[in-house]
Structure 1
């Protein structure tokens, strides 16, 4: 079963790496065409099909609705216009290929959403799913999810059932929670947390007692966190020695997919392992990024994305400043690396104290890496790895990084626009919001 899940996840990652250039069933504000609907059953009858959102809502006011892409043409489904309904009826979207959510789906009443696609949908552009009522039903690829709408709700659900399948019902502003004095999700997580493209903002913690400090203290080998954003985090690990801290997860042994931490600070005043996204990883990180200031003390392992990396890291980037004290490993992307890393870049300023190992991309690496890049101007260093340059790590000027996708970055996995991400490459399935 674990091999099957890994194969499905790999297929989903591959699907997001290939531009959508074939048959598509669009759910949009254009007129319905090439669709056959009978009561609540709607099927595409041509490779180029459109289901108008108002027509779809009219059906949902009467029936549970099942929209099916044409399997003969390996047709995608793409939600490109906002879709919202309040009637107590369920919507099922089914594709043998890919479901792209490029705009919002809002379930306003106590209803249901069933996304029938291997590996789950791919969130692009403004894509997200919002539920107004956590008693609604969500199923993705045959897996039922319990909806939560707050950090406290998430923590309670994980404490009760560490292996649960959970989903974030809406964007959540944690400012009203105040500053946490201990890790909210302290129970090691072993389930799936589906962010649905939503964001938790203003999460703040000042912890003086624990070793793993973040929203999630740790996630286990079978755990998956995906399609989740964090914004404006403030993570302070104080008076704890050899701690791990991150904007999302402190210690990762599972899989983090399509996640981001945009804005804020991760900081410690003692030796520790710090990253904008994850403190230490022994698992997998795919299609994820961080734009966080990461500040370590002496003898720290500090990276813009990950402090200490094992396992696999692919299609990632970091934009934040990274600093640490004496005898530290400091990298714009990863502080200390023992992982298989490929296809990533960093732009943040890097600096360290006396005898610190400072690199624009990696502080120290024990394994070969592939297609990593760093900004030689904004980083303040001409070395990709502390004191040296190695194969697989290439320096580029700001203008060069903004001029086109670097070699090795697949068009489809990566996108680029002068109007997005300051012109730097961004991840198509995990864009800045």
Structure 2
């Protein structure tokens, strides 16, 4: 058993509270269970109850055992001085305040029905991919949809954390934030961190100045990635190497050390050379990229913004010195969808929030226009009758699995609470 079950029982009064008595033998009447804080300090704030003839308003602390009070060193923490009731599953020792007065204890297990306990144990003890896999499809659609919306915005808040970090480091330069995070997305899982570090190493003011020639941007990206460190015979390679050396001296760039760029296990169209060229071409043709992204709303607008391909050299190459059949190599719709999900939407959310604007409906509508993501987690939910129709639903399901199911937070999850009610 976990404390979250006792929090649930107390918060929603899922026990017989008609004839309560403390372990000290005093009658207890519960008027209000209080506010569930989920912060440092006591579990419930401003609970209202009476013990014996005395009415109380204060905090309630909940533990599995009374002795946990001392295990957690609450006796030395002033935040717990105003606890008026200690609610436990099992009472195994008396607990005293700093003034040596005993804290009243309610032993909850005496008042919880076997049926409620069995529901919890069944929910929490199954050895399965998710505890509710046999029942999740029975949840009311309206309830599930509202929960998905909350999950989605929880996920956006989490994705905003690295955005805020870069903002602090760059004195609120949103163009730099976009550049760095687009770099990471263009690098995919394998080279994402490397591309991110490359982008961080180039002041965005230089990107602005050099964006008029795509070759200059490619020289910067390839040079910072270490892809120009060899001695290839290719004339384009030599040209980029010369341009990078000139820019390195002109802008007094510092040497950057990154892990070797990875080509292994990538399809040729995902080679880092191709992705770096596409990123360079994007900044070559888009002089006000951040503004364009912030102002765009509908999916076709974003497809137009990211309608970019590689420079001429890379239409006939995947690597230096190796000619291949000519191919356009433009960003695909599915790749743009990934950019929107992982980079653009979190940035639009964080920027709107910084401006005091609410664009929730806009973001939901945009994600609902993007096809559902395909991965193992989404396929597994589909096996249990939860078939995602779009990217809004897949993002919510990923948040549900990673932050609730995997963490066994069933009693903080609307689905778990609904199943406990049924």
- Shorter-chain TM range is under 0.3
Higher share in strand: 1
The structure showing larger relative contact order (alpha-carbon pairs under 8 Å, at least 6 residues apart) is: 2
Higher share in helix: 2
Which protein has the larger Cα radius of gyration, Structure 1 or Structure 2?
A: 2
Structure 1 length as normaliser, TM-score?
Answer: 0.20
